[in-house]
A and B are shown apart, each in its own frame.
Chain A
Amino acid sequence: MSIGLEITEADDKVAVGTTQLRSRSVFALLLRNPQAGICLAYLALVVLVAVLAPLLAPWGPQETDLPATNAPPLTPGHPLGGDSAGLDILSRLIWGARQSITAVLIVVVVSVVLGVTAGLIAGFYRGRFEAVASFVSDVIMSLPGIVLLIALYALTGPNISAAMAVFGVIIAPSYYRLVRSVVIGVRNELYVDAARVVGLPDWRIVGRHVLWAVRAPVVIHSSFIMAAGISIEAGISFLGLGNPTNSSWGIVLQRSFSSIYNNPWGVVWPALVTCLTILALILLGNALSDVLQSSARSKVLPPRRRRAELAAARRSLLTDVEPAPVPDETEGGALLSVRGIRIAYPRSEGGVNEVVHGVDLDLRRGEIHGLVGESGSGKSQIAFSVLGILPREALVLGGRVLLAGEDLLADEDAMRAARGRRIAYVPQEPMSNLDPSFTIGSQLSRGLLAARPMPKPQARQVLTDLLLRVGITDPDRVMALYPHEISGGMAQRVLICGAVASDPDIIVADEPTTALDVTVQAEVLELLRELSEERGLAMILVTHNLGVVADLCHTVSVMKEGLIVERADVETIFASPREAYTQELLSSSRSVELMEIAS
């Protein structure tokens, strides 16, 4: 889909050139993909066999050789044996390839014509047509197709082509849904609007822009529909709904199955050919969607590669600069120290992409430390690594997270014991961070009980008091509510309550106010400051907002591209920023403020 969209976004003339180039390179990519190459080769072979059947088949489709009745495989003249009527199984399969291919073509043509046309109209014009077409397609898709096919045998009779056309109608809704959703997506794109404004007629917009977008998904889907077509053709022939005088893989299977006691091997060959062909089409479809719709999304590495990447990165770490020494807590030093932490994500094309390049950070008791930088600078990654809640695909290449001298990264158990109990987390998006299926009360109390085992009524009391403290006036009612029933500001208060309830030493707050209304933002910041002072909480405050930093923080680290470029007291940073990047951040944030004031 992405390819179609990119092309349509380009200027028309250029688009023609690039698409030709693209389709050639897509085909080349497909051939270079071993899975697709093998599948295509196999399918080409099947087609070739079907076309050359008269030359290849040693026997005619209905030619009987009575001595070969139920002959086992490797009988001279009948390499795959004979069936109950003395028909040569190999020849019947070769002739049968013709009917299977014809059947598949009928299915694809009928379903593409119906489904794609209806999908284009419904997606482009919406309105009543869409309502009716969607209802019809839902109804057809909800019924088992084979039962309808059997019922309509009264209409089609023993005629595979007619039955496959009916199957094409039954399967058309799958194209309809696919195309409709793609068209709805494309329809509101700017370039389609532009084409409308220019006054292009609808048929040209559809032909030039929308069809391109639809092309790749339809090709991929067709591969799966062909697989279904092979399966259904074999299935209804097997049920005896085909014309028994024809030759088809399903008919061969049925005849061999009915004499399975006399010639057990007879069923193996038609079953094998059918399954291999279906498999080839499905694998081709998978390969097509990899090639046509591949995204640069990173994925979780298999354990062996994960270990290899980690080892390679650690070897390179030895050459790096030694991290700064850890200050001693007893001398009023750090409560939490991060040393030389390096985080990377696997690239889809191999290798890793390092997003944090060895960062040091110290947090004293009661200190509020701002971690500032633009998005993608690695601030949240550091926050997650301190809590041991990095995404699964992340690789920690090196470094230490020391909580009162104990390395949490090296000791999974220590990390688990500290998480929630000594280091707590306040997330960015309040609404998406509450489990929608459980009440507020049950989420809060389970978190608290996990961190600090205590009797349930006591936990409830702690939470009620704390909810009152964070500004929720009717805690009992709120605890009985589900997350969708409260506002974003209230949800953030609940989450802060959840973080503070277990009485931690440190809070890691990841952009705690970004998703909130401006008025609520100030209240939540005030709440965090008060809690920090009351409880002696240290805090790592991840933010891109320098206003928040000025408001709340004692110290600041400025991050850029995975490194801390400047670290100082909040006064120093604002009064005399040392680094050019910090100055840049400051001036751009001031201009944003000025713009906000001006508007």
Chain B
Amino acid sequence: MWLSLAKNLLRSLAVLLVVTFATFSLMFGNGPGIAKAVLGLSATPEAVQAEVVKLGLDRPLVVQYVDWLGHAVRGDLGRSFYTGESVSSALANRVPVTLALIVIALLLTAVFSVILGVTAAVRGGWVDRTLQIVSVLGTAVPAFIIAIALVFILAIRWKVFPATGYVSPDVSLVGWAASLVLPVTALLIGAVAGAAQQFRTSVLDTLSRDYVRTLRARGISEREVILRNVLRNSAAPGLTALSLTMIALLGGAVFIEQVFALPGMGQLANASAQINDVPMVMGTVLVTIVIVLVVNFLGDVGITLLNPKARKR
């Protein structure tokens, strides 16, 4: 078990290096382009050249990357080309907002999709058909359109929630919670639609196993068979579904932050990308990859712990 986890960790590190290098070379490759964007379109070629040298973009790509990586390992992700703000401190302000959003959404997704998935699989009938329809709709409507619909109905028509904006939990915990209700709901709908469907499939799959029939034949009640054996055996696929959901939420958060004007990481990435503030974008990419790798790693640990075969090895 430890061996496979160690291998997993090594692989994650390799992925981290490969992906950061790939995005780094794609982004930093165009030195004069970046310098021009920083100086404005009217800059003279000489000024552009000077800026390229000043930003260190004239060095070979590998040298630039190793330099960036060396600083990144020590927590220094460089400074914004425009404001000179430290990327690390900008991220330190932004990442918690995004994490709060997606972690809350993930936990609620887990609860709802397990309940809905199991009910649909076990009961069948109208519960199941409703879930099917809702999950097609939930996957069809992009999260940002759900978000706009929520703003349109709940914030503008009925005025029950603040439409947009963010309240820091340091200022007011209630205000913070209220400012997250609509964003979390917008993310939740699509996530539950997908995850509940996957959970339903894995419960149905477990229900059709021979050992479930044998357990029933022993006289164990249906309720106990479902709550103990079926849930236990559907847990590993469910966990995989949840780690995929987490990654989808990370992507969805970019749009949701835009709609609700939440000062999160996705909004920072978007705003920085539009002005070619490459160090900022690189920082958000790095944090995203780290989150993805951590989620996948935790998911793998969970699945290993759930599987007696892998656990004993």
Q: Counting CB contacts under 8 A, is B148 at the interface?
A: yes
Q: How far is the CA of A92 from the CA of B215 in the complex (A)?
A: 62
How many residues on A have C-beta within 8 angstroms of the other chain's C-beta atoms? 73
Interface residues of A in 422-457 (CB under 8 A from B): 424-425, 427, 429, 432-438, 443, 446-448, 450-451
- In Å, the complex CA distance between A274 and B144 comes to 11
Q: Which residues of chain A are near B266, meaning CB under 8 Å?
A: 147, 150
* Residue pair A435, B211 in contact (C-beta under 8 Å): yes
Q: Does A260 contact B (CB under 8 A)?
A: yes
> Given A143-B19, A260-B152, are A424 and B218 neighbors across the interface (CB < 8 Å)?
yes
A538 near B: Cβ within 8 Å? no
Q: In the complex the two chains form, what is the Cα distance from A147 to B129 in whole Å?
A: 34
Q: Among B124, B218, B232, point to the contact of A447 (Cβ < 8 A).
A: B218
Give chain A's interface secondary structure class: helix
From B271, which residue of chain A is reached at the shortest CB distance?
A: A240
The answer to whether B142 and A142 touch across the interface, beta carbons within 8 angstroms, is no
CB <8 Å contact, B156 and A260 = yes
Binding stretch for chain A, among B55-63, B175-183, B283-291: B283-291
* A147 near B254: Cβ-Cβ < 8 Å: yes
Contact B140 A253, beta carbon cutoff 8 Å: no
Question: How far is it, in angstroms, between the C-alpha of A282 and the C-alpha of B281 when the chains are bound?
Answer: 33
Contact with B along A272-304 (1 / 0, CB 8 A): 001100110011001000000000000010110
Cβ contact within 8 Å between B137 and A155: no
The answer to whether A150 touches B23, judged by C-beta atoms less than 8 angstroms apart, is no
Using A257-B259, A271-B149 as known contacts, say yes or no to A425 and B217 having CB atoms under 8 A apart.
yes
Nearest chain-A residue to B289 (Cβ)? A143
Residue of A with least CB distance to B132: A286
Q: What residue of chain A has the Cβ atom nearest to residue B259's Cβ?
A: A257
The answer for the CA separation of A131 and B209 in the assembled complex, in Å, is 33
- A86 at the binding interface (Cβ < 8 Å): no
Q: Which residue of the partner chain B has the closest CB to A384? A: B213
Partner of A437, one of B29, B136, B274, B306: B306
**Quick one: which of A473-529 are within 8 Å of B by CB?**
482, 484-485, 495, 498-499, 502
**Residues of chain B from 247 to 263 with CB closer than 8 A to chain A in the complex:** 247-248, 250-251, 254-255, 258-259
For the complex, is A45 an interface residue (Cβ under 8 Å from B)?
no
Does A109 lie at the interface of the complex (its beta carbon under 8 Å from any beta carbon of B)?
no
Contacts of B306 in A (CB 8 A): 437
Contact residues in A for B258 (Cβ distance below 8 Å): 238-239
Would you call B167 an interface residue if the criterion is a C-beta within 8 Å of the partner chain's C-beta atoms?
Answer: no
B185 at the interface (CB under 8 A from A): no
Contact A275 B145 (CB under 8 A): yes
Q: Smallest Cβ distance from A26 to chain B, in angstroms?
A: 23
A16 contacts chain B at the CB level, 8 A cutoff = no
What 1/0 flags go to B1-38 for Cβ under 8 Å of A? 00000000000000100110001001101100010000
> Does B142 contact A235, Cβ atoms closer than 8 Å?
yes
B276: Cβ under 8 A from any A Cβ: yes
CB distance from B150 to the nearest CB of A (A): 11
Complex CA gap A253/B278 in Å reads 28
At the interface, yes or no: B219 with Cβ under 8 Å from chain A? yes
Q: Given A143-B292, A147-B251, A432-B209: A450 and B140 within 8 A (CB)?
A: no
User: Which residue of A144, A274, A447 contacts B142 across the interface (Cβ within 8 Å)?
Assistant: A274
Residues of B within 8 A of A261 (CB): 156
Whether, in the assembled complex, A314 has its beta carbon less than 8 Å from a beta carbon of chain B, the answer is no
- Cα–Cα distance between A447 and B211 once the two chains are bound (Å): 12
Known A-B contacts A153-B274, A154-B27, A282-B140; the reply to A482 vs B269 at CB < 8 A is no
CB-contact partner of A151 in B149, B152, B285, under 8 A: B285
Q: Is B83 an interface residue (CB 8 A)?
A: no
Other-chain contact of B214, A231, A421, A427 (Cβ < 8 Å): A427
Kindly state whether residue B197 has any CB partner on chain A within 8 Å. Answer: no
A144-B251, A147-B285, A282-B139 are known contacts. Are A450 and B217 too (CB-CB below 8 A)? Answer: no
In the bound complex, CA of A537 to CA of B131 (Å): 47
Docked Cα-Cα span, A2 to B21, in Å, equals: 42
Is the pair A436, B308 in contact by a Cβ cutoff of 8 Å? Answer: yes
Instruction: State the Cβ distance, A412 to closest chain B Cβ, in Å.
Output: 11
A495 vs B218: C-alpha distance in the bound complex, in angstroms? 10
CB of B145 within 8 A of CB of A274, answer yes
Do residues B217 and A419 form an inter-chain contact, with CB atoms below 8 A? yes
Verify B218–A271 contact, CB threshold 8 A.
Answer: no
**Across the interface, do B247 and A143 meet the contact criterion of CB distance under 8 Å?**
yes
Contact B220 A450 (CB under 8 A): yes
Q: Is the CB of B148 within 8 A of A253?
A: yes
Contacts of B248 in A (CB 8 A): 144
**A484 interface neighbour in B18, B218, B269, B308, Cβ under 8 Å:** B308
Give the docked Cα–Cα distance between A235 and B30 (Å): 26
B216 at interface by CB-CB < 8 Å: yes
CA distance A436 to B29 in the complex (A): 53
In the bound complex, do residue B219 and residue A419 qualify as a contact, i.e. CB atoms below 8 Å apart? Answer: yes
Expressed in whole angstroms, the minimum distance between the Cβ of A497 and any Cβ of chain B is 11
* Cβ–Cβ contact A264 & B152, under 8 A: yes
Contact of B270 among A241, A384, A451 (CB under 8 A): A241
Tell me, rounded to whole Å, the shortest Cβ–Cβ distance linking A70 to chain B.
Answer: 14
Q: Which residues of B have CB within 8 Å of A421? A: 219
- Could you say which residues of chain B place their CB within 8 Å of the CB of A495? 214
Q: Output the least CB separation between B135 and chain A (Å).
A: 10
- Residues of chain A lying within 8 A (CB to CB) of residue B270: 150, 239-241
Q: Given the interface contacts A147-B250, A153-B273, A420-B220, does A425 sit within 8 Å of B289 by beta carbon? A: no
* Residue ID in chain B nearest A144 by CB atoms: B251
- Given known contacts A435-B229, A447-B215, A275 and B274 CB-to-CB distance under 8 angstroms: no
A199 to B21, CA, bound (A): 45
Interfacial chain B residues near A264, Cβ < 8 Å = 152, 156-157
A234 within 8 A of B: yes
Interface contact B309-A482, CB-CB below 8 Å: yes
Shortest Cβ distance from A166 into B: residue: B26
Check A436 against B233 for contact (C-beta < 8 Å).
yes
Contacts of B145 in A (CB 8 A): 234, 253, 271, 274-275
Residues in B whose Cβ lies below 8 Å from that of A260: 148, 151-152, 156
Residues A144 and B211 in contact, CB atoms below 8 Å apart:
no
Contact of B26 (CB < 8 Å), options: A143, A154, A271, A387: A154
Which residue of A144, A155, A392, A447 is within 8 Å of B247 (Cβ)?
A: A144
Q: Is the beta-carbon distance between B308 and A240 smaller than 8 angstroms?
A: no
Taking a contact as CB atoms under 8 Å apart, the answer to whether B30 and A147 are in contact is no
B125 CB within 8 Å of chain A: yes
Among A240, A257, A300, A420, the residue within 8 A (CB) of B148 is A257
Q: How many Å from the CB of A85 to the closest CB on chain B?
A: 19
**Residues on the A chain within 8 Å of B212, using CB:** 435
Min CB distance A251 to B, Å, is 13
Instruction: Determine whether B312 belongs to the interface, using a CB cutoff of 8 Å to chain A.
Output: yes
> Do B219 and A498 have beta carbons less than 8 Å apart?
no
User: In the assembled complex, which residues on chain B have CB atoms less than 8 Å from the CB atom of A436?
Assistant: 211, 233, 308-309
Q: Does A471 contact B (CB under 8 A)?
A: no
Pick from B125, B157, B209: contact of A302, CB under 8 Å: B125
Residues of B within 8 A of A578 (CB): none
B residues near A451, Cβ cutoff 8 Å = 218-219
List 23 A–B pairs whose Cβ atoms lie within 8 Å, in order of A's numbering. A139-B18, A139-B19, A144-B292, A148-B285, A150-B266, A150-B269, A151-B281, A239-B254, A239-B255, A241-B273, A264-B156, A275-B142, A278-B140, A282-B139, A302-B125, A389-B216, A416-B219, A419-B216, A421-B219, A438-B229, A443-B215, A451-B218, A495-B214
Closest 9 A/B residue pairs (Cβ): A420-B219, A144-B251, A447-B218, A425-B217, A153-B273, A279-B140, A482-B308, A420-B218, A450-B220
**Given A143-B247, A147-B269, A253-B148, 17 more contacts at CB 8 Å?**
A142-B247, A143-B288, A144-B248, A146-B251, A235-B142, A260-B156, A267-B148, A278-B140, A300-B124, A389-B213, A389-B216, A421-B219, A425-B218, A437-B308, A447-B218, A447-B220, A448-B218
Please report A residues at the B interface, Cβ cutoff 8 Å.
Answer: 139, 142-148, 150-155, 227, 231, 234-235, 238-241, 253, 257, 260-261, 264, 267-268, 271, 274-275, 278-279, 282-283, 286, 300, 302-303, 384, 387, 389, 391-392, 416, 419-421, 424-425, 427, 429, 432-438, 443, 446-448, 450-451, 482, 484-485, 495, 498-499, 502
